[in-house]
Amino acid sequence: MKKLMIGAVGALAIAVSTLLGAGAASATTNDGAFLQILAERGIYAIGAADYQLIQTGHGVCVDMMNGYSFHGEVWALQRNAQLAGGMLTSSDAAYFIGASQAAYCPWTYTPVPQPQLNRAI
């Protein structure tokens, strides 16, 4: 089953980047890797060019650098996709955020602490 990420999410990121003066994104090696990672997961934009996914990835980074929580960003991606008539599971939204951070803002990534097992010897 294909996952759908609709252009409204990309439009939001484009609006943010325009307000910040970023302009149109030019293709980079990171962009290609980012798009490939999303395609392997089956995440794509319906009726939208790749640049909208790229802009959304950059928008995720802007949000994370401005203090948005990971869970809040998952919710926002899901809600924007739903408002545009698409579908994005929480797992896919989390994957999109991770791919965005890996490609564009790795300094915003904070690993989830792993639980320590207390074993009696």
- CA 60 to the chain's CA centroid: 5
pLDDT digits (tens, 9 = 90+) for 110-120: 776 666 766 66
Q: Give me the number of domains the chain comprises.
A: 1
- Name which of 4, 108, 110, 112 is nearest 53 in CA terms: 4
Q: At what angle do helices 7-19 and 70-83 cross, to 10 degrees?
A: 120
- Look at residue 112 and tell me if it is in a domain: no
Q: What is the C-alpha to C-alpha distance for residues 19 and 75, in angstroms, rounded to an integer?
A: 23
Going by pLDDT thresholds of 50, 70 and 90, the confidence category of residue 33 is: very high
- CA 76 to the chain's CA centroid: 10
Residue 48 has pLDDT above 90, yes or no: no
Q: Which domain holds residue 33?
A: 3-103
pTM: 0.70
pLDDT digits (tens, 9 = 90+) for 51-84: 889 999 999 999 999 999 999 999 999 998 888 7
- Look at residue 55 and tell me if it is in a domain: yes
- Look at residue 29 and tell me if it is in a domain: yes
Sign of the C-alpha dihedral computed for residues 102, 105, 106 and 111 taken in this order: negative
- Look at residue 98 and tell me if it is in a domain: yes
pLDDT digits (tens, 9 = 90+) for 12-26: 343 333 333 343 445
